[in-house]
Amino acid sequence: MALPILAFVLVYLTSLIALFISSFWSVDPFTSEMTHVWNLDNYRELWHSSAYRTIAVRTIGIAAAVTIADAILAFPLAYFMARIAGGRSRALIFVAVLLPLWSSYLIRVYIWRLILAHDGVLNWTLGKAGLPAANIGYTNWAVWLIFTYMWLPFMILPVYAALERVPESFLEASRDLGAGAWITFRRVLLPLALPGLVAGSIFTFSLTLGDYITPLLAGGASSQFIGNVVDDNINNQLTPFAAAFATVPLVVMGVYLLIARRLGAFEAL
């Protein structure tokens, strides 16, 4: 019984390790064959090239910006679901949050391309309202907005779960002891909801970090993510360099998960 699982884990693990090992090899520029000579050239190139550094910073920066935007959008809605909405409307909102999550990834990128296009819904609406056109289609703003849209449900659900577990008596106690709404939020509600927020941020951050389809379809000339460079290199048979660059999001995510565990996010998942 354990055999197929073992085989499965082995195949997957061997591929991962082989990929990692290949990042220390190189490709002969004339024959396009991989040469199995150990070296750190790929990592050195990554470290010294300002172009790759810019791409890494852009990827991590947009992932962080998406996470912050999602937290701000999600928290009040999660609070509304957990503590204000009645049973029926809560179930309804639950479905309304889940459904976009289940609909096709590509379709959701595509519709935003149409909305943000020069002659799309956004500019039409702005025009009707007498505002100047916002030409953010095919820019980093578009990439940020679309990622924020895509991963928002992943933030709402764990924050909702965390808020639902906060006993009402804690908030009452805080008020009875003379705390105002802001202090109660800041000192009681937020710390208790923090594991949920961090759990959601694992999704929003890591999903953005590893993506390259949205920048490809909805970004501009300067919207390349780490994933795009990895993809390009694989297509040009430069697996070692692709493997080396792919370790960057992995290391970033590893550090992030360590911090998240200290903040208690895994109990909230």
Partner 1 sequence: MESRSTRIALTVWSALVLLFLWVPLALIMLYAFNKSSVESWPMPGFTTHWFHAAWTSEVRESLWLSVRVGLTATAIALVLGSMAAFGVARFRFFGRDTVSFLLVLPLALPGIVTGIALNSAFVVGNVALSTWTIVIGHATFCVVIVFNNVLARLRRSSPSLIEASYDLGADGWQTFRFVIWPVLSTALVAGGLLAFALSFDEVIVTTFTAGVQNTLPLLILGYIRLGQQLPVVNVIAFAMILLTAIPVLLAARLMRDTGVLRGGATH
Window 176 to 195, contacts with partner 1 (CB under 8 A)? 181
Specify the residue, 48 or 266, whose C-beta has the smaller distance to partner 1: 266
Stretch that binds partner 1, among 10-18, 37-45, 50-58, 136-144 (CB under 8 A): 10-18
Contact between 238 and partner 1 by CB under 8 A: the answer reads: no
Radius of gyration of the chain (CA): 23
Work out the end-to-end distance of the chain between its first and last CA atoms, rounded to an integer number of angstroms: 29
Tokens of 11: 């195949």
Q: How far is the CB of 38 from partner 1 (least distance, A)?
A: 18
Name residue 35's beta-bridge partners.
26
Stretch that binds partner 1, among 4-12, 39-47, 134-142, 190-198 (CB under 8 A): 4-12
Q: With CA atoms as reference, report the closest residue to 244 among 229, 257, 255, 256.
A: 229
What is the Cα–Cα distance from 233 to 52, expressed in whole angstroms?
A: 13
Identity of the amino acid at 180: G
Identity of the amino acid at 174: S
Count of residues making up the chain: 269
Contact between 259 and partner 1 by CB under 8 A: the answer reads: no
Residues 118-157 contacting partner 1, CB under 8 A:
119-121, 124, 149, 152-153
Contact between 255 and partner 1 by CB under 8 A: the answer reads: no
Candidate residues 41, 64, 108, 220; the one interacting with partner 1 per rule CB under 8 A: 108
Specify the residue, 195 or 227, whose C-beta has the smaller distance to partner 1: 227
Candidate residues 104, 129, 130, 176; the one interacting with partner 1 per rule CB under 8 A: 104
Q: How far is the CB of 85 from partner 1 (least distance, A)?
A: 8
Contact between 162 and partner 1 by CB under 8 A: the answer reads: no
Q: How far is the CB of 219 from partner 1 (least distance, A)?
A: 13
Q: How far is the CB of 212 from partner 1 (least distance, A)?
A: 6
CB 46 within 8 A of CB 52: yes
Residues 202-221 contacting partner 1, CB under 8 A:
206, 209-213, 216-217
Contact between 23 and partner 1 by CB under 8 A: the answer reads: no
What is the Cα–Cα distance from 90 to 134, expressed in whole angstroms?
A: 35
Specify the residue, 179 or 213, whose C-beta has the smaller distance to partner 1: 213
Helices (H), the chain: 2-22, 41-48, 50-79, 87-102, 105-116, 121-128, 140-164, 168-176, 181-184, 190-209, 213-218, 226-235, 239-262
